[in-house]
């Protein structure tokens, strides 16, 4: 029997009210803020560890235009910090899981085998997916059981990722390692002369904290009852991992590299910069219409971006740091590139990348409001949408298949909001239209006391989906709303 949210809160020690001015709260609003967990393990010096590249998963079979994969979730140990063994939960026993490279329109079936001691749910973040395969948070795969997820991939080429999505437990289960990259390609993208092969790099970025023996620290995992309530604003780690390695270094040629950046952290926002120009070519939902030269990329939890960096602008022997301008001290570093050799490079970034359809908000059939706030829940404090905690059986909206809708999202504090099923386009931020042509997104960062309008259209599939905060501690404490496409 699936536990109720009241049961989950009681079991996880989340019943106490967090008062204004208490640890983890804003002194101005009394609203809980993300809190840093300090590691007690010996940490390596930055850039002392080489960047690992996750293994690319191979289909177990292919038949009739369908590729079949198998992901086995199991407990394992990984050397995340040099010289220490860290117990993890991993797809295939690795942190992160293997990268799946798939093709648009080629049906991909992923069989999830749960060899863990807890239920899990698989969600393809950014996937245009039938409801039965979307990873609804109560569609649990029990320990010892398996389930097939069918991904038709009738969508643009894009950098997606997959992760656990179990109701009330997404935060700790992703923290333990249940995440991996999922890359979709299509003929339009493949026709472009962008960097490829070893110069096309998936970079899954997350933060973690470690005990002295290498064990992952997370509120509640240490067996101290009630500790988690102080972290309801979100959990921040003090070690930045890229593809599972702490502050790694990659040796590169004087050539262009395509960096697929994914913020897989529970609550940390990154503002990524190299100190030089980066050419942004894609976001959550795939290629932009045209490249944009930027000096920084801001990514809230769940967001992705693709950039091209031309290391030919540097001399052999130089180092290029990828830094986090939103972090301090060690959390201000992410990884380093060491320019070490010359190499032929026939890649380029063309002036036109793709055609991006602009949704017309004037054709919207309805405008809906969603307010993201903290508030009273089950005798304690939680995170609410429109004043209510998540109820898996209550539909907050019933959009019609094929209709265009405008959704107005309003925050109290920062919330990265993720919409399942279909991508959307930004219309306004606090009433002002964002700069540049439209692009497709599936996650948007609401900053403190901010209103963002998005326009979307639900296509192909009827059924139930969710809208939620992708600060995973907020999500686990009820900041999710179900909707049904009819």
What tens digit of pLDDT does each residue of 294-311 get? 999 999 999 999 999 999
Q: Is 150 in a helix, a strand, or coil?
A: strand
pLDDT value of position 29: 52
What average pLDDT does range 231-248 have in this prediction?
97
Distance CA 319, CA 334 (A): 13
- Tokens read off for 422: 């279909």
Other Cβ atoms closer than 10 A to 440: 25
Give Cβ neighbours of residue 197 (< 8 Å, ≥ 6 apart). none
pLDDT score, position 223: 55
pLDDT at 455: 98
Query: What number of CA atoms fall less than 13 Å from residue 38's CA on the CB side?
Result: 2
pLDDT of residue 2: 40
Residue with tokens 């939103």: 326
Please, are residues 287 and 353 in contact by the beta-carbon 8 Å criterion? yes
Mind listing the pLDDT tens digit for each residue in 167-210? 999 999 999 999 999 999 999 999 999 999 999 999 999 999 99
User: What is the reported pLDDT for 396?
Assistant: 97
Q: What pLDDT, on a 0 to 100 scale, did the predictor assign at position 380? A: 81
* Tokens of residue 121, six digits: 């749910």
pLDDT score at 10? 31
Q: Are 426 and 358 in contact (CB under 8 A)?
A: no
For tokens 């829940």, the residue is 377
Give one DSSP letter per residue of 383-449, joined into a string: EEETTB---TT-EEE-PPTT-EEEEEEEESS-EEEEESSS-EEEEEETTBPPSSS---BSEEEE-TT
Q: Give the mean pLDDT of 239-257.
A: 98
Position 338 pLDDT exceeds 70: yes
- pLDDT tens sequence across 129-175: 999 999 999 999 999 999 999 999 999 999 999 999 999 999 999 99
| Residue pair 417/369 in contact by the 8 Å Cβ criterion | no
Is pLDDT of 397 > 80?
yes
Averaged pLDDT score across all residues of the chain: 92
Degrees (nearest 5) of the Cα angle 432, 436, 438?
Answer: 90
What's the angle, vertex CA 423, arms to CA 419 and CA 424, rounded to 5?
A: 90
Q: Quick count: other Cβ atoms within 10 Å of Cβ 435? A: 6
List the strands of the sheet with 304-310, edge to edge.
245-246, 239-242, 200-208, 256-263, 304-310, 278-283, 286-294
Query: What are the CA-CA distances from residue 138 to residues 75, 167, 482 (Å)?
Result: 22, 6, 11
- Give Dmax (Cα) for the chain: 64
- Residues 91-100 as b or e (16 or more Cβ within 10 Å = b): bbbbbbbbbb
pLDDT for the residue numbered 106? 96
Q: Residue 4: its pLDDT value, please?
A: 41
Report which DSSP code applies to 289: E
pLDDT given for residue 8 in this prediction: 37
Query: Dihedral of CA 452/457/458/460: which sign?
Result: negative
Task: Tell me how far apart the terminal alpha carbons of the chain are, to the nearest angstrom.
Answer: 28
pTM: 0.93
pLDDT band at 255 (very low <50, low <70, confident <90, very high): very high
Cβ-count burial 67-90 (b if 16+ within 10 Å, e if not): bebbbbbeebebebbeebebebbb
């Amino acid at each position: 029997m699936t536990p109720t949210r009241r049961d989950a809160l009681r079991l996880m020690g989340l019943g106490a009210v967090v008062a204004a001015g208490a640890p983890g709260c804003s002194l101005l609003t009394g609203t809980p803020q993300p809190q840093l967990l300090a590691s007690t393990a010996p940490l390596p010096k930055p850039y002392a560890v080489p960047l690992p590249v996750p293994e690319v998963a191979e289909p177990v079979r292919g038949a009739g235009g369908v590729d079949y994969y198998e992901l086995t979730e199991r407990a394992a140990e990984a050397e995340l910090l040099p010289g220490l063994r860290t117990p993890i939960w991993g797809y295939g026993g690795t942190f992160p899981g293997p990268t799946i490279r798939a093709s648009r329109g080629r049906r991909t079936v992923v069989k999830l085998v749960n060899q863990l001691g807890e239920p899990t749910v698989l969600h393809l973040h950014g996937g245009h997916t039938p409801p039965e395969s979307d990873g609804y948070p109560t569609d649990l795969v029990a320990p010892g059981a398996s389930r097939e997820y069918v991904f038709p991939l009738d969508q643009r080429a894009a950098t997606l990722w997959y992760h656990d999505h179990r109701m009330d437990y997404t935060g700790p289960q992703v923290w333990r390692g249940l995440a991996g990259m999922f890359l979709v390609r299509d003929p339009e993208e493949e026709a472009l002369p962008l960097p490829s092969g070893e110069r096309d790099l998936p970079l899954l970025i997350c933060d973690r904290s470690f005990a002295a023996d290498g064990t992952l620290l997370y509120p509640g995992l240490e067996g101290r009852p009630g500790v988690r309530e102080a972290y309801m604003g979100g959990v921040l780690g003090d070690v930045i991992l890229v593809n599972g390695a702490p502050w790694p270094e990659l040796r590169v040629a004087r050539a262009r590299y395509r960096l697929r950046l994914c913020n897989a952290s529970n609550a940390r926002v990154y503002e990524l910069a190299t100190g030089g120009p980066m050419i942004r070519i894609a976001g959550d939902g795939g290629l932009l219409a045209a490249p944009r030269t930027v000096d920084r990329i801001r990514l809230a939890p769940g967001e992705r971006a693709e950039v091209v960096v031309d290391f030919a602008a540097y001399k052999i022997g130089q180092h290029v740091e990828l830094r986090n301008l939103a972090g301090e001290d060690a959390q201000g570093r992410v990884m380093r590139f060491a320019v070490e050799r010359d190499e032929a490079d026939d890649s380029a970034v063309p002036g036109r990348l793709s055609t991006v359809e602009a949704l017309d908000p004037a054709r919207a059939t309805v405008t809906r409001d969603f307010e993201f706030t903290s508030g009273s829940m089950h005798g304690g404090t939680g995170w609410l949408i429109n004043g209510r905690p998540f109820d898996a059986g209550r539909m907050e909206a019933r959009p019609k298949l094929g209709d265009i809708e405008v959704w107005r999202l309003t925050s109290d504090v920062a919330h990265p909001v993720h919409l399942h099923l279909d991508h959307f386009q930004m219309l306004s931020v606090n009433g002002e239209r964002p700069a540049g042509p439209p692009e497709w997104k599936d996650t948007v960062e609401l900053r403190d006391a901010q209103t963002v309008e998005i326009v979307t259209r639900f296509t192909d599939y009827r059924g139930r989906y969710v809208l939620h905060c992708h600060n995973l501690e907020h999500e686990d404490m009820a900041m999710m709303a179900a909707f049904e496409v009819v």
